[in-house]
Amino acid sequence: MFALDLPTENLLYLVLYLVTLVLHVVAMNYVVGGAMVLAGAAVYRLVGNYCDATRSIVAVIKDWLPLALGVTITLGVAPILFVQMLYKHAFYTANLLLFHRWMAILPVLIVAFYLLYLQKSEWLERRAQVVRAAVAVGVLAMFLFVAWSWSENHLLSLASQQQWTEHYAQGRMWYLTSETFPRLSLWMIGSLATLSVIVAWQLRSQASSTTVHRLALIGLCGAIGSVVAAGWYWLALPGAVRTAIGESANLVVVIVGGLGLAAFVAAWVKMARSGRMEARLLWLATVGLAIAIPCATLLREVRRYVALTEVDHWQPAVAATQESAQFGGFGVFLLFFVANVLVIGWIIRRVSQQVKHAS
Residue 234 as a binder of another protein (CB under 8 A): the answer is: no
Cβ 290 vs Cβ 19: under 8 Å? no
Summarize the chain as % helix, strand, coil (round to 5).
85, 0, 15
Shortest Cβ 309–ligand HEM spacing (Å): 16
Binding mask 37-76 for another protein (x = CB under 8 A): ------------------------------x--xx-xxxx
d(CA 15, CA 223) in angstroms, rounded, equals 26
Which letter, b or e, does each residue of 252-284 get, where b requires 16 or more Cβ atoms within 10 Å of its Cβ?
Answer: ebbeebeebbebbbebbebbbeeeebeeebbeb
d(CA 256, CA 247) in angstroms, rounded, equals 14
For residues 337-356, which are near another protein according to CB under 8 A?
337, 339-341, 343-344, 347-348, 350-351, 354-355
d(CA 292, CA 259) in angstroms, rounded, equals 8
Among residues 33, 223, 63, which one has the least CA distance to residue 140? 33
d(CA 152, CA 94) in angstroms, rounded, equals 9
Shortest Cβ 50–another protein spacing (Å): 24
Binding site for ligand HEM (CB under 6 A): 21, 24, 28, 31-32, 69, 72-73, 76-77, 79-80, 83, 109, 143, 146-147, 150-151, 154, 157, 183, 187, 300
Site size for another protein, by CB under 8 A?
Answer: 57
d(CA 16, CA 292) in angstroms, rounded, equals 18
Shortest Cβ 46–another protein spacing (Å): 29
**Site stretch for another protein (CB under 8 A), options 181-189, 251-259, 269-277, 320-328:** 320-328
Residue 319 as a binder of another protein (CB under 8 A): the answer is: no
Q: Which residues bind to another protein, rule: CB under 8 A? A: 67, 70-71, 73-78, 80-82, 84-85, 88, 92, 95-96, 99, 102-103, 106, 109-110, 113-114, 117, 161, 164-165, 168-169, 171, 320, 323-324, 327-330, 332-333, 336-337, 339-341, 343-344, 347-348, 350-351, 354-355, 358-359
